[in-house]
Amino acid sequence: MLIKGKFTTRAVHAGQKPDPSTGSVMTPVYLTSTYVQESPGVHKGFEYSRTQNPTRKALEENLAALEGGDYGLCFASGMAAISAVISSLNCGDHVVSGNDLYGGTYRVFTKVFKRYGISFDFVDTTDPDAVVQALNPKTKLLWLETPTNPLLNITDIAKISKLAHEKNVPVAVDNTFATPYLQEPLSLGADLVVHSSTKYIGGHSDVVGGAVITSDKSWRERIQFIQNSVGAVPGPLDSFLLLRGTKTLALRMDRHCENALKIARFLSKHPKVAKVYYPGLESHKGHLLAKEQMRAFGGMISFEFAEGFEAAKKMASQTKVFALAESLGGVESLIGHPATMTHAAIPREERLKRGLTDGLIRLSVGIEDAEDLISDLDQALGVRAR
């Protein structure tokens, strides 16, 4: 059931009509691997739960509706979703990717798919010339992340998609940081949207999941073929938890964004902070573009600690409300040190080239009270490194 309407209405209702057999308002968790058939090949659209499951189907329709796409396909993790997109390419194909991206994405591109003969070039996608120069006749995909992780760079999705399409190169956007509430890549011209639904979509740090959304029928067929052939699908309970998550996505994002802006302003005035990366700050180089292509600026902040590596590591372990942990997008605030945690898979020289220094701290700002979060950071920043 592809419900129309504004975002919050779609979030609560799309894909989730009451269960016809009982009237259950919430989509049941269909813990079944198989489905009875009336006669061979005659069934209700469900044969085997790797291929289709009603709880997963509700989630797929819900996420498609939230992204303004026609088709949603869900996976067991964000990495499984990303791998499904790249698995649909052939040996010899070339991919141009942004150069500031999730460490696991960089790893699967360079350490897994490269071995199968797919080549990757990493460029600064905030620079349209750099993107155009990297495209060649073998390029079969342009991979964007915006805002990027962890430096929150903003790429102009509409402009870059147009340039890529002039060379017949389809565009995929990892929309994990923005969520469909803050940014709709398909409406800006992208062909595919990818999510780690582990993050804001789930929103409660209790489930790992991924999704691909598209309005292009041939892409849908290709990705669905991989989904069913490879089988990295989410289970029905995971799908249920994610459906519960999307219902409050807009409310949570409003608070994440509000808190993050307050914290970014606090940090930018703090003497121990050398630089703050948050697209909501006027000083951020992607601020105007973010204002245009996003509803608000998100809940992620990175900042450079003036006193370097040891001091940054120490600071990251001194917070009491912010938990020191990988991941992001949950209701609780997290603090991380990308160089030793989320981005340790990227060689140090590569990291430094991109501006990801050893003194960088990343925050996933939760929905707690902003004043409590600020005083927690304030006390942690005050602690001296030995």
Distance (Å, whole) CA 145 – CA 125: 9
Per CB under 6 A, 259 contacts ligand PLP: no
- List alpha helices for 14-77, DSSP H: 54-66
Please give the structure tokens belonging to residue 13.
């209702």
Please give the structure tokens belonging to residue 140.
């079969």
Report the site for ligand PLP in 134-163 (rule: CB under 6 A): 145, 149
Closest distance to ligand PLP from the beta carbon of 1 (Å): 27
Which of these ranges, 71-79, 129-137, 217-225, 261-269, lies near ligand PLP under the rule CB under 6 A?
71-79
Distances 298 to 7, 281, 283, 380 between C-alpha atoms, Å: 16, 12, 16, 23
Which of 352, 349, 177, 371 is closest to 263 using CA atoms?
371
Closest distance to ligand PLP from the beta carbon of 40 (Å): 38
Q: What are phi and psi of 121, to 5 degrees?
A: -120, 140
Contact residue for ligand PLP among 170, 210, 299, 336 (CB under 6 A): 210
Which of these ranges, 40-48, 84-92, 193-201, 293-301, lies near ligand PLP under the rule CB under 6 A?
193-201
Distance (Å, whole) CA 213 – CA 348: 33
Distances 45 to 35, 38, 42 between C-alpha atoms, Å: 9, 12, 9
CA dihedral 147, 182, 163, 108 (to 10 degrees): 50
Per CB under 6 A, 208 contacts ligand PLP: yes
Which residue carries 């809940």 as its tokens?
299
Distance (Å, whole) CA 21 – CA 74: 25
Closest distance to ligand PLP from the beta carbon of 79 (Å): 4
The CB-side HSE value for 373 (13 A sphere, CA atoms) comes to: 28
Distance (Å, whole) CA 177 – CA 302: 13
Per CB under 6 A, 79 contacts ligand PLP: yes
CB 164 within 8 A of CB 192: no
- Closest CB to ligand PLP among residues 101, 311: 101
Catalytic choice (56, 140, 199, 354)? 199
Which of these ranges, 46-54, 192-200, 232-240, 297-305, lies near ligand PLP under the rule CB under 6 A?
192-200
Closest distance to ligand PLP from the beta carbon of 178 (Å): 10
Please give the structure tokens belonging to residue 237.
């309970």
Assign 146 to helix, strand or coil.
coil
Closest distance to ligand PLP from the beta carbon of 19 (Å): 28
Which of 325, 308, 292 is closest to 385 using CA atoms?
308
Which of 104, 377, 84, 318 is closest to 213 using CA atoms?
84
Report the site for ligand PLP in 80-119 (rule: CB under 6 A): 102, 104-105
The number of residues that bind ligand PLP (CB under 6 A) is 16
Catalytic choice (30, 71, 102, 278)? 102
Closest distance to ligand PLP from the beta carbon of 210 (Å): 5
Per CB under 6 A, 176 contacts ligand PLP: yes
- Closest CB to ligand PLP among residues 64, 178: 178
Closest distance to ligand PLP from the beta carbon of 276 (Å): 20
Assign 89 to helix, strand or coil.
coil
- Closest CB to ligand PLP among residues 96, 208: 208
- Closest CB to ligand PLP among residues 98, 376: 98
- Closest CB to ligand PLP among residues 105, 183: 105
- Closest CB to ligand PLP among residues 246, 380: 246
Residue nearest to ligand PLP (CB): 78
Question: Which residues are 304's β-sheet partners?
Answer: 275, 360
Catalytic choice (56, 57, 156, 174)? 174
Residue 314 among the catalytic residues: no
Per CB under 6 A, 10 contacts ligand PLP: no
Residue 50 among the catalytic residues: yes
| DSSP 8-state secondary structure symbol assigned to residue 253 | H
Please give the structure tokens belonging to residue 180.
């469909």
Point out the residues that are catalytic: 50, 102, 174, 199
- Which residues form the interface with ligand PLP (CB under 6 A)? 77-79, 102, 104-105, 145, 149, 174, 176-177, 196, 198-199, 208, 210
